[in-house]
Structure 1
């Protein structure tokens, strides 16, 4: 394959992966239907208000939980710190809707917590005492904060560890307490990284569907879902999705601005060995209780309850449906991971062959889908594929042939394409990073030996970047296993993944029957966290 062919292929793939975004914008710009006018004049302002309040609440909790935990792990010496610094990452592996059900089951009126309180104090009904309701917007913010605060923790901890030790030592010499040093030096220097983490939290909250739907908190994500499945209006769903797309673009712009500022403020000498503050007495115990409480509430307690239900209801959960849906998830995730690898290799190789700046554009275009919430992406996929299905059936009817039906939207093709658009960026980034470390001289030597570009890629590049390839494929595979909103909207009839299977039990308040597949999802989600923690330990 000549260099021109590689370039053309990269542009074709990039345009294909950006097709849902372009289709979404096109559909949103079409004349407004009555459904959207009705929603805008009735419930949509409430949905926007709920979304804003939820995002702010989750960001606030994530800041109050993630930043202190990051500073304690980076700047202080504590017992069990070796285990705490990676245990604080674990909540990321726990799907939020599972955590939501666990705490609803624990804290509802009929749950063990309130039942125990009534037994202890002799209360007879809810009117005899006050207990905060969990199925509220505040409860949803708390649950999402427990799951998402590690984004802020990870980035803030890295920023604190990379700060110049001389500044911290100078503050000590000037008589600053640990709190004063944190407020005056560490926090301002880490502010750009914290803003990036909060931006990620905001985007994940904006994309959340399972928890808010279970708690009956109406947000823009649930509006997209209900508008398409309830009203059947693709136009109205596209317009609501376009509103969310604007919010995501605003958050991404804020994140990029913070990253530029971080290049100015970040000041690390790299080789410094940090001797942390040694906490003692009450301060030490308060720090330990704070950090371990986050681990307990965000991961350990839900995971233990899942294990209890999985063991107790093992005979009912271990059935043919569990194996069928596990196979569906395995097959779908494997196909998407393989396709994502092929796309990543073509895009990376195209830039490698030419070395021109403009060949970076296809990679950036193909990576845009990762920023889209799952529900928004699903609408973007449905717009062109639905039109394509109608066109195929109309053509068959015109030719006098039998109508083939829903060739794309009625098969696994739609959900696979949606996953590829959203998670392909992971494989692209991983392959690009690894390929950038391979010396260009190897390409020159291979060309002098008569190897064509495809042979150079397979015989030289792929063996050298196999670790990066494995990391990218694993990340795509795992994210596909966990994805819920896009799966709910794009899956064909009678097709379930493990995520939708678990959510079905959660919606019916029967998580005990879905505990076994939920554990599978959690354990799969732990894999990238283990890789991430090892990379952080090797870096620092």
Structure 2
């Protein structure tokens, strides 16, 4: 069957998108071929041992915290009824609105020797020396706490999606065999939720590995921080590329572990009796204990940072229009809006090409398009540097050939490099949303339109796009907010003298005056709350009778 011009164009754009996402990895591999023997002697002796220890300890620690908090709270709100449960359904996911670097800056400010917590306790106890036992957050345990308390919703949301669909058959069988609630959770519900927990932990691990703001600020020398310092402080692109390849190997291991955790992970309910297990009422002390157990993570991960940012913004009068935060907000919105539009368009074309002409090439395009999220921002920025400079050099040579003035660094100077980084990193979001949306559109619609003589592009415009509107809307808000919060790639690829909200906050924190950037931080959090609430609007499903 011959391809129409529209179908051919879609396939070519899908293949170009594949090359775009793969370009940073190819670039890093080529950079890593350059020998750096002297640098590696230094790295092996002084950098890698600590970086590997800190990275492994951070991943394990954050994984344990997020698994305990996320799975525990998901089980409480899914399997039980208790006072305040309805409120917890909305509060528990909200720490997703707090970037890890913001949480780190807030908690260090609160717990530093002259911070708010120390001053409050000293006043209340009238014994300044009695608060010396307060922990220092500039440590590995501090980093595990800060990062874990804002990333646990990844595990919570994935675990809850499984827990709230518990079959009544399994619960009744366990009860007949004499299992109590704890045994049922440990021996039945938790193993059944393993695939969901694997997905949540994989996302947490990727976010932890991508983090640079919190890790660097808290003094944790992770591999990501080592790539950053090797590139900027030691001026070695090849050494940074070699470290980046090592990080990508770790990413591959994390993805393999997630796939292993999801193997044979399907759970089938009875087709004859598809009842959901009822929630168990918790009253009295047990009910309030459950409420407290759910409230504490939401307070620590969301309410404390939000209230601190509100207090600092109001106390310092930062709501005035005189601050440069509005200029930085304009840069942020412009870059995020362009990247969101580009990512949405490319994601749509990639999925449509697969829908129109399913083949190995289009399937490969979809698979590659969804791998960008696994690239840490620092690694992505390093991988884009060579292609972007190659394009800028091409513009300069073309200008010289035409006897025109050199345009300078077009890609870097215009912010195009930042937009490309955003598109590559977050392209997985629109492709995932749109692919899920198409799965709810019967192929019969396509066949009927084709039989009526409608071109593929008309079918897309008239039938499919209106049905895809919820998926497209979800993809837009998620990608836009992710772009607002993104720090590592923005920090390394932004034009000179251009700051976004995230990089502005980073600069304030680097100078030890994070509170001056409270309004910028508050704007990021405020923009993130809406999408988080939107993603949890279908938080509950009807349960069987108690």
- TM-score, normalised with respect to structure 1: 0.93
* 1:249 counterpart residue number: 252
Task: Work out whether 1:238 is the aligned partner of 2:264.
Answer: no
Which sits farther off after the overlay, 61-70 or 188-197? 188-197
* 2:50 counterpart residue number: 46
* 2:164 counterpart residue number: 161
Q: 2:61 aligns with which of 57, 60, 71?
A: 57
Distance 1:2 1:130 in 2: 68
Task: Work out whether 1:421 is the aligned partner of 2:429.
Answer: no
TM-aligned CA distance change 1:231 to 1:389, over 3 Å = farther
Listed as ranges, the matches of 1:424-503 within 5 Å are 424-503=427-506
Q: State the Cα distance separating 1:410 from its structure 2 match.
A: 3.0
Task: Work out whether 1:339 is the aligned partner of 2:363.
Answer: no
- Say if 1:28 and 1:238, in contact at 8 Å, map to a contact too: yes
Which sits farther off after the overlay, 26-35 or 212-221? 26-35
TM-aligned CA distance change 1:194 to 1:450, over 3 Å = closer
Task: Work out whether 1:16 is the aligned partner of 2:20.
Answer: yes
Aligned residue for 1:231, secondary structure, equals coil
* 2:11 counterpart residue number: 7
Task: Work out whether 1:366 is the aligned partner of 2:369.
Answer: yes
Distance 1:200 1:134 in 2: 24
Q: 1:93 aligns with which of 81, 84, 97?
A: 97
Q: State the Cα distance separating 1:121 from its structure 2 match.
A: 5.2
Task: Work out whether 1:67 is the aligned partner of 2:65.
Answer: no
TM-aligned CA distance change 1:321 to 1:119, over 3 Å = closer
Q: State the Cα distance separating 1:266 from its structure 2 match.
A: 5.7
Taking only aligned residues, the RMSD between alpha carbons, in angstroms, comes to 2.4
- Say if 1:193 and 1:259, in contact at 8 Å, map to a contact too: yes
Which sits farther off after the overlay, 51-60 or 435-444? 435-444
Deviation per residue, 1:258-317 (Å, 9 max, x gap) = 222311x56576842432222234333322222111111111111111111122223465
Distance 1:28 1:336 in 2: 29
Distance 1:167 1:468 in 2: 33
TM-aligned CA distance change 1:136 to 1:467, over 3 Å = same
* 1:81 counterpart residue number: 85
Distance 1:42 1:399 in 2: 50
Distance 1:199 1:440 in 2: 32
Listed as ranges, the matches of 1:367-406 within 5 Å are 367-393=370-396, 402-406=405-409
Q: State the Cα distance separating 1:188 from its structure 2 match.
A: 2.1
Deviation per residue, 1:442-485 (Å, 9 max, x gap) = 33444455543333323332223122212112221111111111
Q: State the Cα distance separating 1:527 from its structure 2 match.
A: 2.5
Q: State the Cα distance separating 1:30 from its structure 2 match.
A: 3.2
Listed as ranges, the matches of 1:206-355 within 5 Å are 206-263=209-266, 265=267, 267=269, 271-315=274-318, 318-319=321-322, 321-355=324-358
Q: 1:114 aligns with which of 102, 112, 118?
A: 118
Q: 1:200 aligns with which of 200, 203, 206?
A: 203
- Runs of 5+ unmatched residues, structure 2: none
Aligned residue for 2:411, secondary structure, equals coil
Deviation per residue, 1:195-237 (Å, 9 max, x gap) = 2222221111111111111112111111121122222221111
Greater per-residue helix proportion? 1
- TM-score, normalised with respect to structure 2: 0.92
Aligned residue for 2:499, secondary structure, equals coil
TM-aligned CA distance change 1:315 to 1:485, over 3 Å = closer
Which sits farther off after the overlay, 275-284 or 369-378? 275-284
Distance 2:413 2:40 in 1: 26
- Runs of 5+ unmatched residues, structure 1: none
TM-aligned CA distance change 1:280 to 1:331, over 3 Å = same
Distance 2:210 2:519 in 1: 25
- Say if 1:148 and 1:201, in contact at 8 Å, map to a contact too: yes
Distance 2:227 2:254 in 1: 20
Which sits farther off after the overlay, 68-77 or 432-441? 432-441
TM-aligned CA distance change 1:168 to 1:448, over 3 Å = closer
